[in-house]
Amino acid sequence: MPLFLNNEDVEQVLTMKTCMEALEVLYGELGAGKAVAAARTDIHSPTAAGSGAEAPMAHYLKSMSGAAPHFGTAALRFSSDIVAWRQAGDGMRREKIPTLPGERWLGIVLLFNTANGELLAIMNDGVIQRMRVGGTNGVATKYLARGDAESVGLIGSGWQAGTQVMAVCEARKIKKIKVYSPTRANRESFAHDMSPAVGVEITPVDSQEEAVRGVDIIITSTNSRKPFLGPEALCEGVHLSCMQRDEADDDALHRCSPLLVHTHLTENNSTSSQLNEMATPGFEFRDHPMQRGIDWKALPTLADLVAGRAKGRERAEQITGFVNKIGLGAQFAAVGAKVFEGARAKGLGREVPLDWFTQDVHP
Amino acid sequence: MPLFLNNEDVEQVLTMKTCMEALEVLYGELGAGKAVAAARTDIHSPTAAGSGAEAPMAHYLKSMSGAAPHFGTAALRFSSDIVAWRQAGDGMRREKIPTLPGERWLGIVLLFNTANGELLAIMNDGVIQRMRVGGTNGVATKYLARGDAESVGLIGSGWQAGTQVMAVCEARKIKKIKVYSPTRANRESFAHDMSPAVGVEITPVDSQEEAVRGVDIIITSTNSRKPFLGPEALCEGVHLSCMQRDEADDDALHRCSPLLVHTHLTENNSTSSQLNEMATPGFEFRDHPMQRGIDWKALPTLADLVAGRAKGRERAEQITGFVNKIGLGAQFAAVGAKVFEGARAKGLGREVPLDWFTQDVHP
């Protein structure tokens, strides 16, 4: 019977170690062509919530699917959000507005058993999604950072930075982490909260330059829409781990060798003309409209790396880089399988009858 | 609170008239670019059910999404099936095996409110899916058949033929229907069952030629993978309504003017290399691998027709044609909205708490 699992359930069973192990298996299978990943589908349509609003608003239905044969699972992740684009300091930023009762969002992972098609679980996607983002950077770090890397400079202290720290501590024996983000209170409370969680000293510092100085691994974990990290930040032997595309600038990325990207897939984006008519000419209803001077399609992917088709670090003095870019439904098939297994073992979740989802009519 | 609706609930509230009205509005909006349709995503991965099987088998996760602004809804339809390809008389045919307890299939429509992102309903897709297939042909017939059309020749008596008959009777004042399918018992029981349902005399006949002779509208509703209807079947003034691509042959389709196609979208198909290695060279894990001598992309679509951007029938003697090809998530947003409205009014379905699907964690 399908199991409803909320974020608290997921948190109880999903460790970063488990998450990264599952992802490493997945990327090996993706590299071998065995696992299946497809482009994400984004649908933007008009919303009654947006009438009279100053910023462009839309209903945004996102879906992504994939399969992880090693785990015998497939997954469909979807979210239904009201989004608004707001002018932030560094460009237009898309925000998901918590419009549902209790100021909540709607994001779900559906997990299927590929042996018989059964729906296994219906999970909130909030916890699992940031674990797999962190874990994906973590797997890349495992392959790309120096074996003796022990210090980290982190830019960003937001809601994704915590899993980035968990992941780097899983990938290497980290002894010291410096964190910088523009607001002092944020970086201080991040250091205070996360330090005991990973058992590593985390020191808030006053500038980006101070954070990245002399470290073995640089992690950027922001929602910036304009690159802020230049090539001067990268010294011999460092590994640069970017959570998204618009953090390190072109010159910084060009210094990395090898430089790898998460995936070549991009979203399949469809937008109602009603929205386009309402928007400023040239405005695009997508998350990342900005162009970059990087030929992403020419870069090897994480799947290439794990499957041994792309080279990782070969010498201590190399500067290596990884850019996480767009998620894959297959991540949820792999990590979701481990969550489901753990939740079953602990008796977590609420069951609903499978019959509610099945039918005797040919579909 | 989200409403679980099963096929019986859907059947109670969804008439063909309602379905076609909703679809006509939708195609008008699609033609104007207001409604949003995206390509379907198909994922084929290995299945434990397929080990040792003679025919290629796979787990097949299908998803399609879209939005219908007029109704304030978006929809995500998905199905999770074990599929097998079997050699049928007319080529390889993909079958969905009812592997779930009680010999059931899993196919669901999720309906969302675009005003706040809320999940409104979780519906079995079996009834609604065949209603919208029939209804789509019905809308095309409304625009393309002669106004005085009153006789129908139907080829096929399977599980989709019933809604095709309901739809043509909604589009025109039909007085007589002839039905042919290869197995006598099937065409006889179809005629016996459907005749009272639509209030029109349905006569089973012994050959395809007899079925199409002298009728105003020809409907093909089969799962053929090889065209079986030639140009000789098409007399002046007839409208040809095909439920799928491989029923009328190239010469027959070339005789139609205008000839319209449902949509230009095609599926986004991703398959595990493990399946490809197991299959005969050249075998494709998709439903419709066959090539045709028709430039589908050059044809106007149903959305063009309803929005007035493509011409319909202009003279009584024209031979018109319509080919239904691949479904759209947006159909479920439009028809699903009417089902939800009807079910709410009648107090049907089972509610589950919306909180089960929402979260206070940013997704």
pLDDT at A313 (0 to 100): 97
Is the separation of the CB atoms in B241 and B142 below 8 Å?
Answer: no
Is the separation of the CB atoms in A1 and B239 below 8 Å?
Answer: no
Best CA proximity match to B10, nearest among B118, B109, B138, B143: B109
Which domains are assigned to chain B? 3-129+328-356 (3.30.1780.10), 137-323 (3.40.50.720)
**Phi, psi for residue A106 in degrees, rounded to 5:** -120, 110
| Interface residue of B71, B82, B355, B362 to substitute, partner A, most A CBs within 10 Å | B362
pLDDT at A290 (0 to 100): 60
Q: 10 Å Cβ neighbour count for A185?
A: 10
What b/e string do you get for A279-312 counting C-beta neighbours within 10 Å, with b at 16 or more? Answer: eeeeeebebbeeeeebebeebbbbbbbbbeebeb
Q: Pick A61's closest partner by Cβ from B39, B74, B358.
A: B74
pLDDT at B277 (0 to 100): 83
pLDDT at A250 (0 to 100): 96
Q: What is the pLDDT of residues B307-317, one digit of tens each?
A: 999 999 999 99
Would the pLDDT of B94 be above 90?
no
Where residue B93 falls among pLDDT bands split at 50, 70, 90? confident
Residue % of chain A over a pLDDT of 90: 84
CA gap B175, B200 in Å, rounded: 6
Where residue B125 falls among pLDDT bands split at 50, 70, 90? very high
pLDDT at A289 (0 to 100): 59
Any CB–CB contact under 8 A between A345 and chain B?
no
CA gap B227, B206 in Å, rounded: 19
Q: What is the pLDDT of residues B255-304, one digit of tens each?
A: 999 999 999 998 898 999 888 888 777 777 776 656 688 999 999 999 99
CA gap A296, A283 in Å, rounded: 23
At B59, which amino acid appears? H
A363 compared with A333, residue with greater pLDDT = A333
| Interface residue of B11, B99, B100 to substitute, partner A, most A CBs within 10 Å | B100
User: DSSP state, A145?
Assistant: S
Q: Pick A362's closest partner by Cβ from B44, B110, B159.
A: B159
Quote the tokens at residue A21: 């192990």
Chain A residue with minimal CA distance to B67?
A45
Shortest alpha-carbon distance between residue A56 and chain B (Å): 14
Q: What is the pLDDT of residues A329-351, one digit of tens each?
A: 999 999 999 999 999 999 999 99
Any CB–CB contact under 8 A between B207 and chain A?
no
Q: Taking the CA atoms of chain B, what radius of gyration do you get in angstroms?
A: 20
Q: What is the pLDDT of residues B205-232, one digit of tens each?
A: 999 999 999 999 999 999 888 899 999 9
pLDDT at A52 (0 to 100): 64
Torsion A10-A129-A120-B55 (CA) sign: negative
**Phi, psi for residue B217 in degrees, rounded to 5:** -135, 130
Best CA proximity match to A193, nearest among A168, A145, A157, A236: A157
Q: What is the pLDDT of residues A307-336, one digit of tens each?
A: 999 999 999 999 999 999 889 999 999 999
Best CA proximity match to B58, nearest among B86, B39, B78: B86
Q: What is the pLDDT of residues A4-44, one digit of tens each?
A: 999 999 999 999 999 999 999 999 999 999 999 998 999 99
CA gap A288, B124 in Å, rounded: 35
CA gap B247, B180 in Å, rounded: 14
pLDDT at A283 (0 to 100): 79
Would the pLDDT of B90 be above 70?
no
Q: Which helix (H) or strand (E) holds B216?
A: none
Query: What rounded mean pLDDT belongs to chain A?
Result: 94
Is the separation of the CB atoms in B297 and B34 below 8 Å?
Answer: no
What b/e string do you get for A351-361 counting C-beta neighbours within 10 Å, with b at 16 or more? Answer: ebebebbbbeb
pLDDT at A288 (0 to 100): 63
Any CB–CB contact under 8 A between B89 and chain A?
no
For chain B, what is the total number of helices (H) and then of strands (E)? 10, 18
Q: Average pLDDT, stretch B116-120?
A: 97
Task: Using DSSP bridges, classify how beta strands A91-97 and A73-88 pair: parallel, antiparallel or unpaired.
Answer: antiparallel
Any CB–CB contact under 8 A between A120 and chain B?
no
Any CB–CB contact under 8 A between A2 and chain B?
no
Query: What rounded mean pLDDT belongs to chain B?
Result: 94
DSSP letters of A149-176?
--EEEEE--STTHHHHHHHHHHHS---E
Q: Average pLDDT, stretch A248-265?
A: 97
User: DSSP state, A235?
Assistant: -
Where residue B85 falls among pLDDT bands split at 50, 70, 90? confident
> Which residues 283-342 of chain B have a CB within 8 Å of chain A?
329
Is the separation of the CB atoms in A123 and A336 below 8 Å?
Answer: yes
- CA B109 distance to own-chain centroid: 14
Angle between helices B329-346 and B16-31 (to 10 degrees): 140
Would the pLDDT of B358 be above 70?
yes
Q: What is the pLDDT of residues B4-38, one digit of tens each?
A: 999 999 999 999 999 999 999 999 999 999 999 99
Residue % of chain A over a pLDDT of 70: 97
CA gap B148, B168 in Å, rounded: 13
Where helices occur in A1-40 by DSSP H, the ranges are 7-13, 16-31
Q: What is the pLDDT of residues A147-195, one digit of tens each?
A: 999 999 999 999 899 999 999 999 999 999 999 999 999 999 999 999 9
Contacts of B361 in chain A (CB under 8 A): 7, 105, 124, 126-127
- Name, in order, each residue with C-beta under 8 angstroms of A356's C-beta and a sequence gap of 6 or more: B4, B6, B122, B350
Task: Using DSSP bridges, classify how beta strands B3-5 and A320-323 pair: parallel, antiparallel or unpaired.
Answer: unpaired
Across the A:B interface, residue pairs with CB atoms under 8 Å apart total 273
Q: Pick B270's closest partner by Cβ from A36, A46, A268.
A: A36
DSSP helix/strand/coil, A336: helix
Where residue A3 falls among pLDDT bands split at 50, 70, 90? very high
Q: 10 Å Cβ neighbour count for B150?
A: 15
Shortest alpha-carbon distance between residue B354 and chain A (Å): 9
pLDDT at B222 (0 to 100): 94
Where residue A362 falls among pLDDT bands split at 50, 70, 90? confident
Would the pLDDT of B122 be above 90?
yes
Q: What is the pLDDT of residues B177-211, one digit of tens each?
A: 999 999 999 999 999 999 999 999 999 999 999 99
Contacts of A270 in chain B (CB under 8 A): 36-38
DSSP helix/strand/coil, A334: helix
Contacts of B47 in chain A (CB under 8 A): 114-115
Would the pLDDT of B324 be above 80?
yes
Burial class (CB in 10 A: 0-12, 13-18, 19+), A329: buried
CA gap B61, A355 in Å, rounded: 18
- CA A205 distance to own-chain centroid: 25
pLDDT at B74 (0 to 100): 98
| CB-CB under 8 Å, B358 with A272 | no
Q: What is the pLDDT of residues A71-98, one digit of tens each?
A: 999 999 999 999 998 877 767 778 999 9
**Phi, psi for residue B201 in degrees, rounded to 5:** -65, 125
Q: What is the pLDDT of residues A96-109, one digit of tens each?
A: 999 999 999 999 99
Shortest alpha-carbon distance between residue B87 and chain A (Å): 20
| CB-CB under 8 Å, B116 with A82 | yes
pLDDT at B334 (0 to 100): 98
A282 compared with A161, residue with greater pLDDT = A161
Any CB–CB contact under 8 A between B51 and chain A?
no
Q: Measuring CA to CA, how many Å separate B96 from each of A293, B45, B57, B59, B85?
A: 46, 14, 10, 10, 9
Shortest alpha-carbon distance between residue A196 and chain B (Å): 22
Is the separation of the CB atoms in A252 and A231 below 8 Å?
Answer: yes
pLDDT at B67 (0 to 100): 98
pLDDT at B289 (0 to 100): 59
Would the pLDDT of A70 be above 70?
yes
| CB-CB under 8 Å, B106 with A359 | yes
Where residue A205 falls among pLDDT bands split at 50, 70, 90? very high
